[in-house]
Structures are given as C-alpha cells and as structure tokens.
Structure 1
Amino acid sequence: MTTIDLKSANDTRSLGRQFGQQLPAGTVLLLYGDLGSGKTSFVQALGEGLGIKDSIESPTFTLINEYLTGRVPLYHFDLYRLEPQQTATLYPEIYWEGIEVEPGICAIEWAERLAYKPDSYLEISLSYQDTGRKAEIRSIGSARIPNLEIHT
C-alpha cells in the first residue's frame, strides 16, 4: 500500500493528473471516502491528465458519464444513490472489460456499493486528517500504481 499526505486540494488534483498521464487503458480505480473527501476532484484531475477538455461532473443522477476525447476513454461512475444489488444492473464489467466499449479507465466513486469487483484494480481511499487529506492506494491483481510525485 502507498500512503500519500495531501496538504491541499492542489495536491489531490496533482495526484489525479499523474494517474491520468500514466495509467493504461483497462485500469479500474475504485474510489472510497466520505462526502467531500476529494473523490470527484481526483476524477476531474484524472480527466485533465488524460487530456479531456470537457467539464467532468459527478454523475450522481446519470450514474455513468463517458468521456471519449482523451488519450484513452474515461468512464466515470457515481454509485452514491444505489444499493449494491442495484449496481449490478449497470453491468460495470462492460466498461472494465472493454466489452461493447473502447477500453479505457473506469473511475468508480462510492465503490463500496459495487455488487462485485473486477479481478484487477487500484483501490484509492481518500480521508481527512488534521493537516489536509490522505490517500491510501492499494494494488489488487495485476493493476500497478503509477510513479507518483507530489509537490507541496
């Protein structure tokens, strides 16, 4: 596990941009954290790192937003309003396995609500601490954490 202290919102954005610049298509990011912990800010910066020019908004009501104009596609899920049994009806494996869609990066907010997980993913837990936020990143299966450098 990699732990990174994020002393500012800029640090969270820097982390997301670095992921976007380095991650290959087929990567799944499962994002955990309380409301306001920086999940959406991270995904917005991820999109910047991918070269996506569109405004990235949390798909709280649409559930999945697709951004196809970057280095690789970004599929952004927000499961906040769903129960685990409801998430299965989204067929998230279509996105993380590249079935019927171009392989890209899946970023899934509120991942604890997934009914099932892929075999390989990066788990990113964002939390508050006295000096800002903290990111804990864990690699599951063949997913690899990119080389990270945070300047504060």
Structure 2
Amino acid sequence: MPYRSTGFRRRSLPRGVLALGMLWTLPNSLAGLLLGVIGLAFGARMRWQARGLALVVRRWPWGNGGALTLGNVILHTGERLDTPCFTYAHRAGHRIESAVSLADHERAHVYQYMALGPLFLPLYLLSGGISVRNRFERAADRYALHGHGWWPWSA
C-alpha cells in the first residue's frame, strides 16, 4: 500500500511552552505510562520519540491494530509507528485519499492532548469517540495529510 509520510517537523516552540503542555496533560500521560508498563510484561517495548514528543510503546499486546494516544504516550500494536494507514474519511468511503503515516496522525493527538490536558478525553468522547464524525480524528487526519490543522476546531 503506497503512502506518504509527511515528515513534518513541529515548529519550534519555547521549551517552557512544551513543558507546560506536558505538565497539563500529565494525568493522561500517567494513565498511558501505566498501560505501557503493564504491556512490558507481555513483550511491549518503550522508546522516547523526541520528534513526536511522546513515549512510544510498540508491540502493545492487546487490540486489533493501530494506536492509542494518552497524553504524551502512544500505545502501538505494531513494530514501527511510522506505518501507512488510511484516513477515517477514506475508510468510511467519504472520499478517496492516499494513505498517511500513523506516526503523523498520532502526533496530532499528542498536540491536542498538550493543548487540552485533562479536558481532551471528555471532549473527544463527546465528539463521537473513534469515528469519522469525530472532529479530533478528522483534525489528526488533516495534520497527517498536510502538516497543519491539528486543532479540532480549525477549518
């Protein structure tokens, strides 16, 4: 399946702003870290990914593929996070789009968490959960396709 990784690099933000975002979403990150540590006993591996501002837990042993982001922690069932995936709109048959990088999609969720902190999960669930209707998923797909637009309320 051909796909393009955007290779987008985050714009340089002051370290203080990044630190505040990571602190703001710390409760979410701690939940992800707990799940990651549990996964270690079942073969998962952890690695800090500075580009994505996240601790990536690869080979996550549960689930039927894909990834889940909790704060600055990404739980991924595969060996590599930079793998091709289709956008939600493509999978739902709304339009034809090329495959994108799962790493880019999940990086958008990390940014969303850092901006919204503990408000992310309730807002995400109120927006429809894991579906094409969810503005958070559409924004993450937009970021993975174009390198901008990760904010869920942007056009």
Greater relative contact order (CA < 8 Å, ≥ 6 in sequence): 1
TM-score by structure 1 length? 0.30
TM-score by structure 2 length? 0.29
Q: Which is richer in strand?
A: 1
